[in-house]
């Protein structure tokens, strides 16, 4: 299998593995979108309608231009008038722009989720290149895309309106950035991490569990730089300034 992938990817030129992997990602996206558009099954049941209902509740006040009603809906989403355990609201926000630009549609929401799956696949190849630079990643890039998109869990959740795909996106993206930034002495990196960590927590409050290992690596490597105390204090302050206000838009009340 690796030899076959290496030969095929080599035909795409000097940057063969990356190009071949991008072609695979695009192919999976097109096939998935066609599957959604041609599928004539019964309406989705289970968690999906609850997510879609939340998306519509956020969409409606924005369509009317009522930002105050939108914020009030955001604060109480999946908490008010709910008999089940509260859910964090970010996933419901995912397809709101799609609804505003195109229309309110179950298919449009699922296709938006599939675009996030394609974006996750791209981040995955960047992560593979990070861990296996140069020729070592030649066949690993397309192989990782294939395995990721054909994995049963991803294959299933990609065809539903479920938050696992967006969760995977944040896990991969934050892992990639923390690995890249671990030995850098750049305070502004903490601003990016602050925003992304806030979004991840707004998606699912147990996200730190999935990011424990890369976070530990990042913190240890940053401490090994042995910078002045003011550097770490400034970095944490910038992280908190970006992380806390956004996070508290929902957690502050709930």
What pLDDT is recorded for position 178?
96
Q: How confident is the model at residue 17 (pLDDT cuts 50, 70, 90)?
A: confident
- pLDDT above 50 (res 12): no
- Comparing 155 with 84, the larger pLDDT belongs to 155
In this prediction the pTM is 0.88
- pLDDT above 50 (res 28): yes
- pLDDT above 70 (res 188): yes
pLDDT per position as a tens digit, 138-184: 788 999 999 999 988 887 787 788 899 999 999 999 999 999 999 99
Contacts of 118 (CB under 8 A, 6+ apart): 25, 26, 28, 29
Q: Kindly state the average pLDDT of the residues 9-38.
A: 81
Residue 208 and residue 193: Cα distance in Å, rounded?
13
- pLDDT above 50 (res 52): yes
pLDDT per position as a tens digit, 220-248: 999 998 888 999 999 999 999 999 999 99
- pLDDT above 60 (res 1): no
What pLDDT is recorded for position 13?
46
Residue 88 and residue 198: Cα distance in Å, rounded?
12
């Amino acid at each position: 299998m690796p030899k076959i992938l290496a030969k095929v990817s080599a035909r795409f030129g000097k940057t063969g593995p990356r190009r071949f992997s991008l072609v695979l990602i695009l192919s999976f996206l097109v096939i998935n979108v066609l599957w959604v558009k041609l599928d004539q099954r019964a309406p989705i049941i289970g968690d999906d309608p609850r997510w879609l209902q939340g998306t519509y509740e956020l969409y409606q006040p924005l369509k009317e231009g009522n930002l105050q009603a939108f914020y009030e809906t955001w604060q109480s989403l999946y908490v008010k008038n709910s008999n089940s355990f509260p859910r964090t609201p970010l996933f419901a926000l995912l397809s709101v722009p799609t609804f505003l630009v195109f229309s309110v549609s179950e298919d449009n929401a699922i296709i938006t989720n599939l675009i996030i799956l394609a974006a996750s696949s791209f981040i995955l190849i960047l992560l593979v290149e990070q861990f296996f630079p140069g020729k070592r990643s030649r066949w690993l890039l397309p192989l990782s895309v294939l395995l990721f998109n054909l994995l049963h869990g991803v294959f299933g959740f990609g065809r539903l309106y479920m938050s696992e795909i967006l969760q995977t996106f944040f896990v991969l993206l934050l892992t990639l950035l923390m690995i890249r930034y671990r030995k850098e002495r750049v305070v502004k990196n903490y601003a990016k991490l602050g925003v992304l960590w806030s979004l991840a927590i707004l998606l699912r409050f147990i996200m730190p569990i999935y990011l424990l290992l890369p976070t530990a690596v990042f913190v240890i490597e940053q401490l090994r730089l042995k910078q002045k105390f003011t550097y770490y204090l400034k970095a944490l302050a910038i992280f908190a300034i970006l992380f806390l206000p956004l996070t508290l838009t929902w957690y502050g009340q709930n």
